[in-house]
Amino acid sequence: MEVMQAVASAPHGRSLWADARTRFMRNKAAVVSLVLLLLISAACIVGPAVLPHSFDSADWDAMSLPPTLKNMHWWGTDESGRDLLVRCLVGGRISLMVGLLATLASVAIGIAWGATAGFIGGKVDAFMMRIVDMMYAIPYLLIAILLVTILGREFYLVVLAITAFSWMDMARVVRGQTLSLRSMEFVEAARSIGVPTRRIIFSHIVPNLLGVVVIYTTVTVPSVILTESVLSFLGLGIQEPMTSWGVLIEDGTSVMEVSPWMLLFPGALLSMTLYCFNFIGDGLRDALDPKER
């Protein structure tokens, strides 16, 4: 509803998204966070291919080496002599992939579930939302741990376990917005000419929810990344020889007194990434909020 009002209040000749982009670019914290997030993502994608070390190759002459220029171990090595910089970049690639894939899956499920429940209403809405309420009553992290333990610790199984309980917030938000949109004139017009319910939901309702969906997506990604890091920290996430930021932080905590760099670097990358997503989310919220115009 607010997004639709914002369209009407946008300056003549400028779309909602053009106006939102202008407002977003004025938010220095959000812009800096976006640039920093893009740099971290690019480094995680390109870095392992251009650096001289492999993430799983051990240098037995440089075990637990602090940051140094020797043998190009700029961020030092771990207890097995593996280059920490490469492992942090590979771990970032895995953590970001888990965050994005699980978020996209949970957003798709949440939109479909919430829009359907909100638009149809009645007993269908009550039944679908009671299912969501029952799932809320189950400790999310506990179920994720159980699913990973039962299904396995492969990459796609970790994504599946996180997705299974991360779509409910999106479903509730979308359902609430849909309840306000289904009585709008354009929806009534589509109903009056016999447009099928499914087409109304996905061709008329969902496009008007994109602003809200984008904002909540930027909130969901850091939550999913943090969940994966917690699972990996507990030894239930990504397994060796592959790594993630959670695995590296778990390794670093066991030797933090003698090798603090093993905890400092992956912890700093994880923290920066989470802060970037949070600032970007705040920037998008302000940019798409009609009350701020």
CA distances from 262 to 93, 269, 284 (A): 18, 12, 34
Q: Kindly tell me the burial class for residue 198, based on how many C-beta atoms sit within 10 Å of its own C-beta (0-12, 13-18, 19 or more).
A: exposed
Q: What's the rounded Cα separation, in Å, for the pair 46 and 49?
A: 6
Q: Which residues contact 179 (CB under 8 A, 6 or more apart)?
A: 118, 121
The tally of domains found in the chain comes to: 1
Q: Which of 35-39, 66-70, 107-111, 212-216 is predicted most confidently? A: 35-39
Give residue 223's pLDDT.
85
Q: What's the rounded Cα separation, in Å, for the pair 177 and 173?
A: 6
Domain that holds residue 231: 32-47+82-292
Mean pLDDT of all residues in 36-63: 86
Q: Give the global pTM.
A: 0.80
Q: Is residue 65 part of a domain?
A: no
Q: What is the pLDDT of residues 279-290, one digit of tens each?
A: 988 888 877 765
Q: What's the rounded Cα separation, in Å, for the pair 46 and 50?
A: 7
Mean pLDDT of all residues in 200-208: 80
Question: In this structure, are residues 178 and 205 in contact, taking their beta carbons and an 8 Å threshold?
Answer: yes
Q: Is residue 221 part of a domain?
A: yes
Polymer length in residues for the chain: 293
Q: Is residue 14 part of a domain?
A: no
Give residue 14's pLDDT.
57
Q: Is residue 163 part of a domain?
A: yes
Amino acid (one-letter) located at 80: S
Q: Is residue 2 part of a domain?
A: no
Give the residue from 271, 181, 170, 183 showing the smallest Cα distance to 225. 271
Give residue 7's pLDDT.
44
Q: What's the rounded Cα separation, in Å, for the pair 258 and 177?
A: 53
Give residue 203's pLDDT.
81
Give residue 4's pLDDT.
45
Q: Is residue 12 part of a domain?
A: no
Q: What's the rounded Cα separation, in Å, for the pair 17 and 115?
A: 22
Question: In this structure, are residues 245 and 91 in contact, taking their beta carbons and an 8 Å threshold?
Answer: yes
Look at residue 201 and tell me whether its pLDDT is greater than 60: yes
Write the CATH number for 218: 1.10.3720.10
Give the residue from 209, 255, 242 showing the smallest Cα distance to 4. 209
